[in-house]
Structure 1
Amino acid sequence: MSIILGPNRYGKAETRLVRVVRDGGVHHIKDVNVGSSLSGDMEAVHLTGSNASVLPTDTQKNTAYAFARKHGIDQIEDFALLLARHYVGSQPAIHHARVEIEEYSWSRIPVSGDRGESGKQHSFVRDGAEVRTCVVHHDRDGRTTVVSGLTDLVVLNSTGSEFHGYIVDEYTTLQPTTDRILATAVSAQWRHTGDDSDFGPSYREVRTCLLEAFAETHSLSLQQTLYEMGKRVLNTRDEVCEIRFAMPNKHHFLVDLSPFGLDNDNEVFHAADRPYGLIEGTVLRADAPDAGFAWE
């Protein structure tokens, strides 16, 4: 029986990094989680244990910290590109680098000048559950892909959503409705046509497209809403060629208040956390370039 080594990669996962920029009394904070994965001439380390081609994962962690100090962190996509190109360009044994970054947002806490703190802005509060993400791939052939995204963007429409006309069999108990709450936590990843987008404004505009399409679509299904959100992004943002979604249906069930002598005209709901429907889908341009390794 012949046995061979299959695809493999290694790296440092979840390097937590906080970068503070001090501009006098005004501070700026960047809070990120960096993961790197490298692949290339790695047969020897697997087959014989030779580490001659291995860049230690501890070195990858240190590189993220050092680059944060040397280069700063503005847009996470640019920082990921910087790291990925460094790994491939500096190490002959490394043919491909994948860098994934999550960013956690913070907002300033205003400080009263009455307490003698005027001009000092160094207090922050963490913003909600939404997380900005990116994944960058770069290889020695010069191929590069950038995928931006977000997770846990929680949205809700209190009306303007229906669900009916579905398959009914002997196990179906769900009742059709023409007025329901539609809620989800959007996870979306969108692929750029190149690696030179202005990533900050692009992220903000894509996020706006997602929110506007969700709010403006009279939904007959969460699948329809997903498609309209993706279509809005592609019709609005030329730098995006493909977008992928995972959207759990956060069910809200009308509570039966009749045992208490009360009616319930779509006012009181039970918010169920599980089980939930999970809707996933991709919307892309018909002429989108091949995704290659973008989603790996």
Structure 2
Amino acid sequence: MNTVPEALSAESPVTGLLRFGISTPGGALAAAERDVTADAVGVPPEAVLWFTDFAAAAPVAEIGALTAAGVTPIVTWEPWRALGAGRYDRAAFPLAAIAAGAHDDHVRGWARALAPYRVGLRFAHEFNGDWYPWSGAPEVYVAAWRRLHALFAAEEAAVWWIWAPNAPFERVPLEWYPGDGYVDVLGVDGYNWGTSQPWSRWVEPDELFGPALAALGGLGKPILVTEVGCAEAGGDKPAWITALVALLAADPAVTGFVWFDHDKETDWRLTSSPESARALRGALR
């Protein structure tokens, strides 16, 4: 099993606290997008997470550019085919086919391409929800994960594997867990939608993440909040950001968080208001 890279296993030299990562709409090479947020919050991101579909070629250029800049790359590898304009072929890569070896050559290509780098690989995230096509049978999910892990190990690819359920939850969904030998970092995603949607309400960080962090802590692995965002509508977003950082900093298992800096379903960005950006600046400092 690979160990967690120094970039996520030690205290941040930038903030002296948690590692701060970011995801922006333009992906790994969108340095200008990251700079806007970094300037606003006064802290450069130490990790960048982006999304790529299973059919894509290994993102070597992106990983290389981030690595050269001293930024930790985290790839979210989604088992579907991107069609453009936010559309996907949800049936293109069923987990059963991946588990059966139907795409081994493609996976080996990824493994060989990534072998020279230290990169986080987050495969088929938020499986415990109902919004992705890979949220079907846990035993098939585990089999697909283990097959990918074996193929990467055979190519001596030094990726670190991130298993990332969606919060909130009070019990670790162990039926989906590939096993300690197949996971390096425990991820967790969570969003405060506030009142931005007809069905949503304001949720404080301890309600959103507290039970999940406590449950994941029992597995004894480093924890990275792999996606987090907060709406403006329904409450005090700057206070929410301050409370989030305090919650995560108090948990010795948590190494950092990746802010979902997108204006998508609602304006999740840290720059959605000057006060929100200042709140993160103050919390991290």
Normalising by structure 1, we get a TM-score of: 0.28
Looking at both structures, which has the greater relative contact order when contacts are Cα pairs under 8 Å and sequence separation is at least 6? 2
- Compare the two structures and name the one with the higher helix fraction: 2
Normalising by structure 2, we get a TM-score of: 0.29
Query: Quick check: which has more Rg, 1 or 2?
Result: 1
